[in-house]
A and B are shown apart, each in its own frame.
Chain A
Amino acid sequence: MKAVWKLGTAYFLRHPLRVCLTSLAIVAAACVVVWVVSGYDAVVAQFGEHAAEYLGHYDFFVVPEDENYAYLSAEIINALEQDPLVAEVAAVSQTPVRLINPNAGGPMSGGPLMFSGRSMQNGPRRDSKSASGAIPNRPPRRPSDATGGDQQAQGRGGPPDARSGGRPFFFRTPMLVGTDAPHPPYPLAEGVWLDPDLPEQRHGVLTKSLAEQLGVKPGDEVLVIFGPKEFSLKVVGIVEQGAMPMGMMMGAGATYGTKPNAAPTGLAAGPANAALYVSPFLAEKFTRGTAKINLINIKLKEPSSSSHLKQFRERWELRLADVHPAASLLGAGDLKAGMEESMPATNARRQAWAATGLSLLAALFIIFATLSMGVSERVRQFAMMRAVGLTRGQIAALIFVEGGLLALLGWAGGLAAGWGLLLLAAKAQPALFPNGVALGYRCLLFTGLAAGGGALAAAILPAWRATRVRPLDAMTPRQTPMPALRGLMPAAVIGLILIVINPLLVFVIEATDAARYALFEALGCTSMSVGFLLLAPAAIVLVEKLLGPVFARVLGLAPQLLRMQLTGNLWRTVGATAALCVGLGLFVAIQVWGYSMLQPFVPGDWVPDALIAFQMGGLPDVEIDAVRKSEGIIPEKCLPLAVEQPKLAEDLTGSRRHASVTRQDNVIIIGLDPLTAFGGSDPLLKVRFVQGSAEDAVAKLSQGRYCIVPDHFLSATGLKLGDRFALLPPEHPNKPVEYTIVGAVSLPGWHWMTKFSGLRRREGRSAAMVFAGYEQVRQDFELRQINFFWTSIDKNVGVDRVGKLLQPIAERNLGERQPVNPQGTWSFAARMFGPSIRITTPDDVRERILARAEAMIWAMSRLPLVTLLITSLGVVNTVMASVRARQWEFGVLRAMGITRCGLARLILAEGLLIAVIACLLSLGFGVLAGWCGTGISQYVSFFGGMDTPLLIPWMQLAMGFGITMGLCLLAAVWPAESAAFREPLSLLQAGRAAL
């Protein structure tokens, strides 16, 4: 081993430049890992602190586990109070309410702080500003139903459902917390805590964040609104409560996006972050008897004793699971575990693994190229070593030692450089690091994995090649045969077979969603990557053969001079090309996937020029003509729309099993004149009928309950033309109405058209935009007034002028604000004209969605591009090695009369050819990977379910390819310069010495 170590280190000392370049590339790769993983470490490092903050005064809490019975029984409370380890038990009720500061004036504040995502609560509205995001009111449809806020939205009678408590989405809903705890759960910031001996006193204590939002302090009054009732009380204290740990709302117990009607359980049912603490008596009174105990806080006598903690947990965990209703015990460890599973932590972890994986691959190919060069150059040396007695194992060990040394240098350097850069960046731009920076064990582990794993894998093939050298090769120079395309065909064929596996798995083979995704991840992606790797040698030979002469002519070189420039040392070229493909291939895949997935969400040409919404009040029939005749509106292309967003009577789309953009429990039904909309040679909505025909559909829609649906609705529901489905009118949910499908159309972009325009009247998401007859929809859903118009606009007048001209119509028909999703009130998302008129144009929506999507896609592309930059260092190494190996040849060329410039162009051509091969391989890999990505997204992504045609964004890809060509050209500049400016004799002498 000593001999091996000596030989390895001697080789390193002999080639300091190569070692430096390779190590630099590994350092850069490790730096990327440090940068990304330290973010994960920083997130995780805060979990303990956040958990302790969240627990506050207590050590555990008990929460309901059964979403159908989201309360805790008195039996558990009593039993806990009897436990000898327990010092204090505080059972509280938490009920969502609205809070108002009656003295604030101006915009309604404090609540509901944001949209709860499901229900609209009744109550007076003070103003119509939408920017606060407060839930707008809907006018009560039936006075007798003014008993509960949720009732109207749910369409059911009866008192408000305590189960439904407005679960927290992104945003916090204020909670009325009924507690008789003698101590505040969190440190008091101002004022005093509640007096448990005076439960009837109208006093309350706010959490700090809520107090700041409401603008109240101790001594001020707040109004508590539950249903139609208001209650006033005095704030006597404010408690410090840290922000809910990031991701808690989307933690293990949260049900966001999956079960819309579920009550909070698990972590999501923990202590409210935005709370008004009152006595249980007041909580009962304010909620009219519906408040139930749904949280128990527990303080142990000796919380610092780990044995007590363990004993308590063991005693209660199983017992709580067995009681009815089921409950669970949560402590600091559970909170931390929940945070680990939260979306921010999961995202950080995914990014950490992604960065590690990319860096490992980059390190692998860079070290592979370096080791391959070394083997090719030292064939006679290895032969001599074998001749003097070294074994094959020792030769192989030598290669592994060299790879290991490179990895070690890269790892240590990367850690040091990465950590240093992070500290500098955190000091210069602390805002970029909200969680701080931390170098935890994960950083060490992940960087070691990237560098060490890459080196180990990279050394295998070169080591095998080195062991193939025979001792006799020391006596006679062995002529390495130039690779012929024929010889590389078997590997290429195997490669093609492996490549085909992924598309088959995604598009052809029948499997469950989970199994398909598992196969895609484990087998499909790997086989495709290996397949392209096996294709690389043949690709190199082909490109050199076909494009070499082209490049030669462009660069003013004799084509013969570029022959076998790359294939002269095939493995070196494979290594450099593969290293480039790691970053470039992923970049292409992300761009193709991103822009393809975007396609169905970009408003198509079917969308008319403008969707006009009258958001305050509504227009009676007599005013419809006034709109039509308004300047700028083309009368024969202006359609009033009857719009409602009813729930589906059955879960046709499977939204309860797996919600997505096409799997929801409601639809947006639009009643319109079918002839103007779809008929004739110039319909207003230029949709493409995927099933059925426009003529048949127009005829049927006028006759009764018939409808046209989007194509994905049929895929998601399994329905076909002629089938019927039932909708629940919000006013009469007990009287469903059935519609028959008579046509299916392609509606790209309908999601974003409805998101900001106000068409989503009830829910934040919808399964489909359905078209039906105007009168039928008005009748079925009792739409007496009209709030929407779709119209063509005279381009000479313009949308802005049209909006201004419609204002008088809106003003004389002002009324209550219409129900709408929050995004439908965002002032930046459409053009507002006065308080009522909102105009959404497809151009505006396209611009917005494209800008946002492009930003997201490029953000995802950053890491691959950084990897590309790092691996271009490998190209420098490759070209340098090529120049070194051919010094004698270059000396002869210069002796024959090739100029310096000619020699430099020859070397630059090598860099460019490597770039071209990398671009071609990456294009193939990226397009295929992106296409398979869109395919698998149909099954696993929330944004799947739409028809996603493959789109190759050539402009964006051209940018990536341009960067690659530029980097490779740059990488070849130094080697070209170093060779071209040497004297011919110097090249001949150096080359002869090398030989």
Chain B
Amino acid sequence: MAEGLRRVEFPLRVEHLTKRFWQGGAVIEALRDVSLTIKQGEFLAVMGPSGSGKSTLLHLMAGLTKPDEGHVWVDGQDLTVMPDRVLSRFRRRRIGVVFQAFNLIPTLSAKDNILLPLLADGQAKQAEKVLPALLERLDLSARASHLPDALSGGEQQRVAIARAVITEPSIILADEPTGSLDSVTGQSICRLLKELCREQGRTIVVVTHEPAVAIWAERIVVLRDGRIPTSFFTAQFRDLHQLAAHYQDVVEVMPEEARQ
């Protein structure tokens, strides 16, 4: 386990989460009564078709928005009752977030982007000690001073991952981290996340609609229409195709009328 990681049995827990959105006068329930528990060091994938609520679940877990009902517990702290100032600090220190694309601040170098959470905390100086090793680990040493527009998609995403881990957070949340990448680069990102989980005992939650990404996780939670109909472990599948077939079965369960 990485130095500085806090050992908590269930670093992430959501209970009875419900989130509604207003869209053109109608109320859309993106999530309905979702509960989920994630163990320390677990690599979890959240899958589901477009509009299933998976990104909404991730955003709630990251404290980027508040649920209409339910709670989110990170390291035993309920995010839903935290004031914004406290939540911001908490997110800065305990939660690492990786977005799909346009992750980085275009006017900051790769190094400054990585240090961003620590800059916000006024602790950039301390990170200087661990930064070289992290850059080395992510194969970014030669690109540290470059601006994002000078980096490839894969390099940008690696910078985003470095930024997510620099504060030794309790959890890392990645929203479609390979969505803007080609398949080869995407696989390298997944491998990197897996290594971080295995080598450093990091708890990682990845949202994806791609089975090729989800297979890297230990457990897959499927979301459909804002609910979790099922979850399963990837170890039970022989290969990607089997996994993909099972996933298709889960998400494409049709109503009786449609079969006739």
Q: Which residues of A contact B (CB under 8 A)?
A: 479, 482, 558, 560-561, 563-565, 568, 888-889, 892-902, 983-986, 988, 992, 995
Does B119 lie within 8 Å of A900, measured CB to CB?
Answer: no
Residues of A contacting B102 with CB < 8 Å?
888, 992, 995
Stretch at the interface among B7-15, B89-97, B234-242: B89-97
Q: Which of B46-91 contact A (CB under 8 A)?
A: 59, 62, 64-66, 84-85, 88-91
Set B59, B65, B99: member contacting A892, Cβ < 8 A: B99
Does A893 lie within 8 Å of B105, measured CB to CB?
Answer: yes
A570 to B242, CA, bound (A): 54
For B160, the closest partner residue in chain A by CB is A892
A560 to B119, CA, bound (A): 8
A558 to B66, CA, bound (A): 28
Shortest 8 CB-CB distances between A and B: which pairs? A897-B92, A558-B119, A564-B107, A985-B65, A985-B64, A479-B149, A899-B88, A984-B64
Provided the pairs A897-B91, A899-B84, A901-B85 are in contact, do residues A568 and B120 lie with their beta carbons within 8 angstroms?
no
10 extra A-B contacts, CB within 8 A, seeds A895-B62, A895-B91: A479-B149, A563-B108, A889-B106, A892-B105, A896-B120, A897-B89, A897-B121, A899-B85, A983-B65, A985-B65
B103 proximal to A (CB < 8 A): yes
Does A896 lie within 8 Å of B163, measured CB to CB?
Answer: yes
Q: List 29 A-B contacts (CB under 8 A).
A: A479-B149, A558-B119, A558-B124, A560-B112, A561-B108, A564-B107, A892-B99, A892-B105, A894-B64, A894-B88, A895-B62, A895-B97, A896-B91, A896-B92, A896-B116, A896-B120, A897-B92, A897-B93, A897-B120, A897-B121, A898-B88, A899-B84, A899-B88, A900-B84, A901-B85, A983-B64, A984-B65, A985-B64, A988-B64
Residues of B contacting A985 with CB < 8 Å?
59, 64-65
Residues of A contacting B112 with CB < 8 Å?
560
> Quick one: which of A561, A901, A995 has the most chain B CB within 10 A?
A561
Residues of B contacting A898 with CB < 8 Å?
88, 92, 120
For A567, the closest partner residue in chain B by CB is B107
Residues of A contacting B120 with CB < 8 Å?
558, 893, 896-899, 902
Residues of B contacting A901 with CB < 8 Å?
85
Residues of A contacting B90 with CB < 8 Å?
897
For A983, the closest partner residue in chain B by CB is B65
Residues of B contacting A558 with CB < 8 Å?
119-120, 122, 124
The contact size tier of chain B is: 20 to 34
Residues of A contacting B108 with CB < 8 Å?
560-561, 563
B117 proximal to A (CB < 8 A): yes
A565 to B163, CA, bound (A): 21
Binary contact readout B115-140 vs A (1 if CB under 8 angstroms, 0 otherwise)? 01101111010000000000000000
A561 to B113, CA, bound (A): 10
Residues of B contacting A565 with CB < 8 Å?
107
Residues of A contacting B147 with CB < 8 Å?
482
Residues of A contacting B149 with CB < 8 Å?
479
For B122, the closest partner residue in chain A by CB is A558
Kindly provide the distance from the CB of B114 to the nearest chain A CB, expressed in whole angstroms. Answer: 11
For B109, the closest partner residue in chain A by CB is A560
Kindly provide the distance from the CB of A335 to the nearest chain B CB, expressed in whole angstroms. Answer: 67
Residues of B contacting A995 with CB < 8 Å?
102
For B86, the closest partner residue in chain A by CB is A899
Kindly provide the distance from the CB of B180 to the nearest chain A CB, expressed in whole angstroms. Answer: 12
Kindly provide the distance from the CB of A985 to the nearest chain B CB, expressed in whole angstroms. Answer: 4
A760 to B121, CA, bound (A): 74
Residues of A contacting B89 with CB < 8 Å?
897, 899
Kindly provide the distance from the CB of B60 to the nearest chain A CB, expressed in whole angstroms. Answer: 9
A568 to B103, CA, bound (A): 17
A482 to B148, CA, bound (A): 12
A893 to B122, CA, bound (A): 14
For A562, the closest partner residue in chain B by CB is B107
> Quick one: which of B88, B103, B112 has the most chain A CB within 10 A?
B88
Binary contact readout B141-177 vs A (1 if CB under 8 angstroms, 0 otherwise)? 0000001010000000000000100000000000000
Kindly provide the distance from the CB of B177 to the nearest chain A CB, expressed in whole angstroms. Answer: 14
Set B85, B91, B92: member contacting A900, Cβ < 8 A: B85
Does A895 lie within 8 Å of B64, measured CB to CB?
Answer: yes
Does B103 lie within 8 Å of A892, measured CB to CB?
Answer: yes
Provided the pairs A560-B112, A897-B88, A983-B64 are in contact, do residues A482 and B107 lie with their beta carbons within 8 angstroms?
yes
Kindly provide the distance from the CB of B134 to the nearest chain A CB, expressed in whole angstroms. Answer: 16
A995 to B121, CA, bound (A): 29
> Quick one: which of A482, A894, A995 has the most chain B CB within 10 A?
A894
Set A568, A894, A895: member contacting B107, Cβ < 8 A: A568
Provided the pairs A560-B108, A995-B102 are in contact, do residues A900 and B64 lie with their beta carbons within 8 angstroms?
no
Residues of A contacting B88 with CB < 8 Å?
894, 897-900, 902
Residues of A contacting B163 with CB < 8 Å?
896
A482 to B112, CA, bound (A): 17
Residues of B contacting A984 with CB < 8 Å?
64-65
> Quick one: which of B91, B92, B105, B122 has the most chain A CB within 10 A?
B105
A984 to B63, CA, bound (A): 9
Q: Which of B242-258 contact A (CB under 8 A)?
A: none
Residues of A contacting B64 with CB < 8 Å?
894-895, 983-985, 988
A888 to B99, CA, bound (A): 11
Residues of A contacting B124 with CB < 8 Å?
558
Residues of B contacting A983 with CB < 8 Å?
64-66
Kindly provide the distance from the CB of B27 to the nearest chain A CB, expressed in whole angstroms. Answer: 17
Kindly provide the distance from the CB of B79 to the nearest chain A CB, expressed in whole angstroms. Answer: 12
Kindly provide the distance from the CB of A552 to the nearest chain B CB, expressed in whole angstroms. Answer: 10
For A898, the closest partner residue in chain B by CB is B120
Kindly provide the distance from the CB of A676 to the nearest chain B CB, expressed in whole angstroms. Answer: 71
Q: Which of B180-210 contact A (CB under 8 A)?
A: none
Provided the pairs A560-B112, A563-B108 are in contact, do residues A896 and B97 lie with their beta carbons within 8 angstroms?
yes
A984 to B95, CA, bound (A): 14
Kindly provide the distance from the CB of B256 to the nearest chain A CB, expressed in whole angstroms. Answer: 37
Does B119 lie within 8 Å of A561, measured CB to CB?
Answer: yes
Does A893 lie within 8 Å of B107, measured CB to CB?
Answer: no
Residues of B contacting A894 with CB < 8 Å?
64, 88
Residues of A contacting B107 with CB < 8 Å?
482, 563-565, 568
Residues of B contacting A902 with CB < 8 Å?
88, 120
A985 to B99, CA, bound (A): 12
Kindly provide the distance from the CB of B103 to the nearest chain A CB, expressed in whole angstroms. Answer: 7
For B56, the closest partner residue in chain A by CB is A985
Residues of B contacting A893 with CB < 8 Å?
105, 116, 120
For B66, the closest partner residue in chain A by CB is A983
Residues of A contacting B116 with CB < 8 Å?
893, 896
For A895, the closest partner residue in chain B by CB is B97
A845 to B116, CA, bound (A): 63
> Quick one: which of A563, A568, A892, A902 has the most chain B CB within 10 A?
A892
Residues of B contacting A892 with CB < 8 Å?
99, 103-105
A889 to B163, CA, bound (A): 15
A984 to B90, CA, bound (A): 14
A984 to B120, CA, bound (A): 15
Does A889 lie within 8 Å of B117, measured CB to CB?
Answer: no
Kindly provide the distance from the CB of B184 to the nearest chain A CB, expressed in whole angstroms. Answer: 21
A899 to B117, CA, bound (A): 11
A986 to B88, CA, bound (A): 15
A959 to B260, CA, bound (A): 82
For B96, the closest partner residue in chain A by CB is A896
Residues of B contacting A897 with CB < 8 Å?
88-93, 117, 120-121
